[in-house]
Amino acid sequence: MSILSGMETLIITAVILLLTASWRLYQKRKYYRGVTSKLPTVYGIPFIGIVYKMLDVNKIFHNFHIKHVLTSSEFFNKAEEVYKHFQNGVFNGLIVAPAKKWKADRKIISTFLAHNNNVAWIPAFNSISLKNKLERLVGQGEQDIYTIIKSTYAFKLFGVAFLSRTPHYNRVRKYLKDLVQSLTKKHLAQQLESEAMNNVVEDKQAMVDITVKAMRQGLFSEKQVVVEGFTMLAASYETSAAVLYTCMLMLAMHPEIQERVFQEIRSVFPIEVISVEYEDLKKLPYLDMFFSEALRLAPPISFIARKTAQDSEICPGVILPKGAQIAISIYELHRRKEIWGPDASRFNPDNFLPENIVKRHPYSYMPFSKGARNCLGFRYAEISLRIAVIHAVRSLKFSTTFKYEDIVHVPHISLRYKVQPPLSIEVRAN
């Protein structure tokens, strides 16, 4: 009898716990339903979620109150689900750091990408031999220049393709780790004067110089020096490769725009390009418009995501719970017809004429994200890539038989092309 009584008590307890858990789940689902009913929402299906909708990057996420999400401290943390591929023990520095750590680390690393330091690196940008490598393809028909671009900038070594878990990933990861660690130890071994170790000099500084200095001051550990080195190398090289290839491709597909870019460059460099100086970049407004349009239609990072640090009101009457993850499709934002007009998908540098820029909200265009957690190295990228294009376009002419309307983009760590269109190259007479 006591055994039966004990079983009844156990069953009743289990039923009560089950009903309590079901009630809590019901209340939670009701709450989330109340939130999402007021927002444009992408609905998934059981077990698969929204992965099946991510095949077309133009349909991934809806856009709402972007400025608030990117500027409010409530949204400074990155969304783990979107950035989990960075959590590999190597590439998890400034890009995915929690807000508190990110603020301190960004302050240190920003010295490397300060304006004066970017300008000081211009001689190094001029020395990159992309033009010379492309000249070897002259007269050989359509060729894969993306591979040339990657190899020129050491992308094979530092690109984030090594994030895939393959034997090659493990070999490259070990090489990079050994490389950055050896650079760190080399700089630690240098006997620097106290003043030089504790103050930022005005001459150009390498990333390792700055992070090692931070380590000497107790702001970074040796592991952080290595991790931030990986982060800066991989992030900058992968995205730079994608942007530079897109620029060459857009020039080849739009010969009238290429000619206008060339004529403007020739007006600044009538004979040839020996060295591009910072002041020269200010004399090329159409080149700036061209770059902006290339970044609009093919932003290197196609979407970003944030996570709420607490219950947060995203717009009147809509409160997102703590831990909610919000994704913003930059790719879709840059192609919205209500912002860019009925021909939003057409390549048109005139979108960035001053009189057209003032008509748009500042957050309608953000190829390097915006707000406090924007891309720290965007000016570094803009300067280095413009210099590369100036050298190439002044001497070479690009063409392709691949049609613009046949381009298909696929989302990855950086935006990629489903098919990499090949280009033909000719030498310009002058």
Question: What is the rounded average pLDDT of the residues 336-348?
Answer: 95
CA distance 295 to 301: 10
**Distance between CA 418 and CA 408 in Å, rounded?**
6
pLDDT per residue over 63-115, tens digit each? Answer: 457 888 888 888 888 887 777 666 555 556 677 777 887 887 777 777 767 78
Number of Cβ within a 10 Å radius of residue 399: 15
Longest dimension (CA), the chain: 105
User: Three-state SS for 114?
Assistant: coil
Could you read off the pLDDT of 205-235 as tens digits, one per residue? 566 666 666 667 766 766 776 677 666 666 6
Provide the pLDDT confidence category of residue 421 given band limits of 50, 70 and 90. very high
Predicted local distance difference test score (pLDDT) of residue 413: 65
Share of the chain above pLDDT 90, in %: 33
Write the pLDDT tens digit of every residue in 239-266: 888 899 999 999 999 999 999 999 999 9
**What mean pLDDT is predicted for residues 256-283?**
95
Least confident interval from 107-116, 141-150, 386-395: 107-116
pLDDT, averaged across the chain: 78
Please check the confidence at residue 166 and state whether its pLDDT lies above 50.
no
Between 99 and 354, the more confident residue is: 354
pLDDT at 65: 79
| pLDDT higher than 60, residue 48 | no
Provide the pLDDT for residue 100: 83
Model confidence at 163, in pLDDT bands (50, 70, 90)? very low
For residue 287, the model assigns a pLDDT of 98
Task: Please say if the pLDDT value at position 171 is more than 60.
Answer: no
pTM exceeds 0.85, yes or no: no
CA-CA distance, 41 to 57, in Å (whole number)?
Answer: 15
- Does domain 38-427 fall into CATH 1.10.630.10? yes
| Confidence tier at 4 by pLDDT (50, 70, 90) | low
Phi and psi angles of residue 367, each rounded to the nearest 5 degrees, phi first: -65, -25
Q: What is the DSSP letter of 52?
A: G
Percent of the residues in the chain that have a pLDDT greater than 70, as a whole number: 68
- pLDDT reported for residue 198: 45
Q: What is the pLDDT of residue 103?
A: 82
Are 378 and 368 a contacting pair, CB within 8 Å? yes
Bridge partners for 306 per DSSP: 78, 326
Q: Which of 20-24, 52-56, 422-426 has the lowest mean pLDDT?
A: 52-56
SS3 361: coil
* Mean predicted confidence (pLDDT) in 353-366: 94
